[in-house]
């Protein structure tokens, strides 16, 4: 029996600490702690609502764009603005390539080294590696010479004695199962993906000036204009460049990412039975078409029951602080985000410390609950809600992958399932990108070049008070912003973020959050090298800076806000799927 603290959890965004209790070679209990706090929402108070997107975008530089997007949706909802069709398409494209690029980075640069042993690649036979690569894909970089060169570079790097970011890892751990050739192939693709991600995200620069932190969102639309007769606007050349980037994106996703997943997963099928977690899945849905129908539908699933998708009512969302470093008057109950008393109060051990007091408060994350259920959000939740809703593209692609792995849908409720769902979603979106570009081109061809609805730009045209919300599916899951505007200024701003759901601590009833629940039962071969913990945690793709900012440091203004019961999250952008 041993207590292990893993801090920092690396290869994530933000500062995350995991403590686990290990009994008999497996995790018997777990605690997730976010150890950094900024208090960004206070800064928003009193500011121009039109600039909230730029500030909230800085919640996170990895999920760049998603908070900006959610923020303008919230303000547009409050002011009753419908953006031009081109703006909707441009936002879909920007968000879509963000998903595709971010998921590939996650797989190769944040997650792969949990499954791929780089040192083992030094034992690979390049000819056999070439055979392997050509057997699974027609990706051109697959010759013996190519893998010989990759291996030589790797060897020279290791021989230099300066191992840089690859020093002190768990190389040689018994839980690594891939043969040397698969490891070498993965190392090659790790390096290729570094170049690929840089190239394809130039689409963000084309449509939004730069990445990370695009500078193109506007309340009412987009700041990058369209004009086929201008060099200073989106024109035919832009369309052609986008199509080029998205072909590059699709090729890599289909010929490398998907094939690597299908090649690696069979060595780790035991992980289809590990890491399930809370078994409840929530998706807000995303990618509206011109009629507002979402490509990935909204809803939630309870207890892994795919026979029923529940409609979402955001009034069921509460946040607990029984184990979070905040104060409520009554900490036995959760509060709706609009009613939250969010006074920060650190009660943990003073640094430097060895272990947290997990019987008390132990994290800067709150514990959001939906109808008192802890919910997992993210690619797996999206794919499960879509699968159970009968979204045909999702059903087909999920069944294709499950068929290749010889597994049933129950395999999805796992660490491996989470990693597979992320890839499935990437394949789907990589195919949608070109479709959206064509839709944009057709609009322009038909003479529609509008990107901004300006009638409400001038605050003089606003009501004295307004309130609204916006939400999105970020790469890491369901994200919502709530805003209240008074006298043309932000009176209150709240965000409930994907990693707040996933990284939540226990609530007042003692229910674990998704990370914590997923770790229980995880086998640990070597307590000094808890590689298995990283696998499950990384399968969620943690983004911690995003999650920790749900506060009003001054604490009290939020209490007074009430919203119309009819004013639910399922209002204008979302068309709910009927119950099954």
- Applying the rule CB under 8 A, the residues between 355 and 394 that interact with another protein are none
Quickly list H helices, 365-414: 379-389, 392-405
CA–CA separation, 507 vs 372, rounded Å?
9
The site for another protein, by CB under 8 A, has a size of 105
Residue 495 within binding range of another protein, rule CB under 8 A: no
- Residue 15 or 404: the one with the smaller Cβ distance to another protein is 15
Strands (E) across 170-296 are located at 217-218, 221-222, 281-283, 286-288, 294-296
CA–CA separation, 535 vs 537, rounded Å?
6
| Closest separation in Å from C-beta 399 to another protein | 34
Q: Cα 120 vs. chain centroid, distance in angstroms?
A: 30
Among residues 499, 504, 532, 577, the one annotated as catalytic is 499
Residue 323 catalytic?
A: no
CA–CA separation, 513 vs 435, rounded Å?
38
Among residues 17, 91, 476, 481, the one annotated as catalytic is 476
CA–CA separation, 158 vs 85, rounded Å?
53
Tokens of residue 331, six digits: 């900490």
Residue from 1, 24, 138, 156 touching another protein (CB under 8 A): that is: 156
CA–CA separation, 23 vs 142, rounded Å?
44
- Here's the x/- map for another protein, 11-50, by CB under 8 A: it reads as xxxxx-------------------xxxxxx-xx----x-x
- Residue 153 or 308: the one with the smaller Cβ distance to another protein is 153
Residue 198 within binding range of another protein, rule CB under 8 A: yes
Residue 503 catalytic?
A: no
Tokens 């322009």 sit at which residue? 444
Instruction: Output the CA angle 477-482-488, nearest 5 degrees.
Output: 145
Binding part of the chain for another protein, among 212-220, 267-275, 280-288, 382-390 by CB under 8 A, reads: 212-220
Max CA separation in the chain (angstroms): 71
Burial of 475 (0-12, 13-18, 19+ CB in 10 A): buried
Residue 447 within binding range of another protein, rule CB under 8 A: no
Tokens of residue 382, six digits: 């999206």
CA–CA separation, 405 vs 429, rounded Å?
22
Residue from 61, 409, 521, 555 touching another protein (CB under 8 A): that is: 61
Residue 351 within binding range of another protein, rule CB under 8 A: yes
Q: Is residue 384 within 8 Å of residue 301, measured between CB atoms?
A: yes
Tokens of residue 305, six digits: 């029951």
Instruction: Please enumerate in sequence order all residues whose Cβ is within 8 A of that of 51, keeping only pairs 6 or more positions apart, or say none.
Output: none
Among residues 67, 323, 369, 382, the one annotated as catalytic is 67
Residue 557 catalytic?
A: no
Among residues 319, 324, 546, 549, the one annotated as catalytic is 546
Instruction: Please enumerate in sequence order all residues whose Cβ is within 8 A of that of 161, keeping only pairs 6 or more positions apart, or say none.
Output: none
Residue 13 catalytic?
A: yes
Residue 149 within binding range of another protein, rule CB under 8 A: yes
- Binding to another protein, residues 455-484 (CB under 8 A): 457-459
Among residues 63, 120, 425, 481, the one annotated as catalytic is 63
Residue 543 catalytic?
A: yes
CA–CA separation, 479 vs 546, rounded Å?
10
- Residue 24 or 165: the one with the smaller Cβ distance to another protein is 165
- Residue 292 or 454: the one with the smaller Cβ distance to another protein is 454
In what helix (H) or strand (E) does residue 518 lie, and over which residues does it extend? helix 514-519
Tokens 């059903």 sit at which residue? 395
Residue 454 within binding range of another protein, rule CB under 8 A: yes
Binding part of the chain for another protein, among 92-100, 276-284, 453-461, 516-524 by CB under 8 A, reads: 453-461
Residue from 279, 505, 530, 542 touching another protein (CB under 8 A): that is: 530
Residue from 204, 320, 422, 577 touching another protein (CB under 8 A): that is: 204
Residue 423 catalytic?
A: no
Residue 448 within binding range of another protein, rule CB under 8 A: no
- Binding to another protein, residues 65-124 (CB under 8 A): 105, 109-110, 113, 118
Residue from 25, 140, 174, 230 touching another protein (CB under 8 A): that is: 230
Binding part of the chain for another protein, among 262-270, 284-292, 352-360, 567-575 by CB under 8 A, reads: 352-360
CA–CA separation, 254 vs 262, rounded Å?
11
| Closest separation in Å from C-beta 95 to another protein | 16
Residue 499 catalytic?
A: yes
Residue 244 within binding range of another protein, rule CB under 8 A: no
Q: Is residue 404 within 8 Å of residue 46, measured between CB atoms?
A: no
Q: Is residue 405 within 8 Å of residue 266, measured between CB atoms?
A: yes
- Binding to another protein, residues 548-567 (CB under 8 A): 553
Residue 427 within binding range of another protein, rule CB under 8 A: no
Residue 67 catalytic?
A: yes
* Residue numbers annotated as active site: 13, 60, 63, 67, 476, 499, 543, 546
């Amino acid at each position: 029996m041993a207590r292990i603290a893993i801090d920092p959890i690396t290869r994530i965004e933000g500062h995350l600490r995991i403590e686990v209790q290990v009994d008999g070679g497996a995790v018997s209990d777990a605690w997730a702690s976010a150890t950094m706090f900024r208090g960004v929402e206070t800064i928003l108070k009193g500011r121009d609502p039109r600039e909230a997107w730029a500030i909230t975008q800085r919640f996170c530089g990895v999920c760049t764009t998603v908070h900006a997007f959610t923020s303008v949706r919230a303000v547009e909802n409050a002011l009753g603005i419908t953006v031009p069709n081109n703006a909707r398409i441009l936002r879909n494209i920007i968000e879509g390539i963000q998903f595709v690029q971010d998921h590939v980075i996650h797989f190769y640069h944040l997650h792969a080294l949990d499954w791929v042993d780089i040192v083992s690649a030094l034992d690979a036979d390049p000819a056999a590696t070439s055979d392997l690569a050509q057997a699974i894909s027609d990706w051109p970089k697959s010759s013996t010479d190519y893998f010989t060169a990759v291996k030589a570079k790797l060897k020279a790097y290791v021989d230099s004695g300066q191992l840089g970011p690859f020093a002190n890892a768990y190389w040689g751990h018994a839980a690594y199962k891939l043969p040397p050739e698969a490891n070498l192939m993965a190392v090659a693709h790790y390096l290729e993906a570094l170049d690929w991600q840089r190239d394809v995200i130039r689409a963000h620069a084309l449509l939004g000036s730069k990445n990370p932190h695009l500078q193109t969102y506007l309340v009412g639309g987009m700041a990058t204009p369209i004009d086929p007769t201008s060099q200073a606007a989106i024109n035919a050349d832009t369309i052609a460049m986008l199509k080029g980037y998205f072909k590059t994106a699709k090729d890599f996703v289909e010929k490398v990412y998907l094939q690597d997943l299908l090649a690696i997963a069979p060595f780790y099928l035991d992980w289809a039975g590990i890491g399930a977690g809370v078994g409840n899945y929530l998706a807000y849905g995303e990618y509206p078409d011109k009629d507002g129908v979402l490509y990935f539908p909204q809803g939630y699933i309870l207890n892994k029951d795919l026979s029923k998708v529940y409609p979402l009512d955001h009034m069921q969302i509460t946040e607990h602080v029984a184990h979070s470093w905040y104060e409520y008057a009554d900490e036995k109950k959760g509060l709706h985000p609009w009613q939250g008393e969010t006074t920060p109060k650190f009660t943990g051990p003073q640094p430097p410390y060895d272990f947290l007091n997990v019987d008390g408060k132990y994290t800067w994350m709150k514990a959001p609950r939906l109808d008192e259920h802890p919910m997992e959000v993210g690619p797996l939740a999206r794919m499960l809600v879509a699968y159970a809703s009968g979204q045909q593209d999702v059903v087909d692609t999920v069944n294709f992958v499950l068929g290749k792995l010889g597994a049933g849908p129950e395999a999805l409720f796992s660490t491996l399932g989470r990693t597979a769902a992320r890839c499935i979603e990437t394949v789907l979106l990589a195919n949608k990108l070109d479709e959206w570009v064509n839709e944009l081109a057709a609009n322009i061809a038909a003479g529609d070049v509008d990107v901004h609805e300006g009638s409400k730009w001038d605050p003089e045209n606003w009501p004295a008070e307004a309130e609204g919300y916006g939400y999105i599916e970020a790469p890491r899951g369901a994200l919502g912003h709530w805003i209240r505007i008074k006298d043309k200024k932000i009176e209150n701003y709240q965000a409930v973020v994907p990693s707040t759901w996933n990284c939540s601590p226990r609530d007042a009833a003692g229910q674990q959050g998704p990370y914590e629940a997923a770790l229980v039962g995880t086998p640990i071969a070597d307590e000094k090298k808890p590689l298995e913990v990283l696998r499950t945690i990384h399968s969620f793709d943690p983004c911690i800076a995003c999650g920790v900012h749900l506060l009003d440091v001054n604490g009290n203004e939020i209490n007074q806000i009430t919203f119309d019961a009819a004013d639910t999250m399922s209002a204008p952008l979302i068309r709910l799927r009927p119950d099954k």
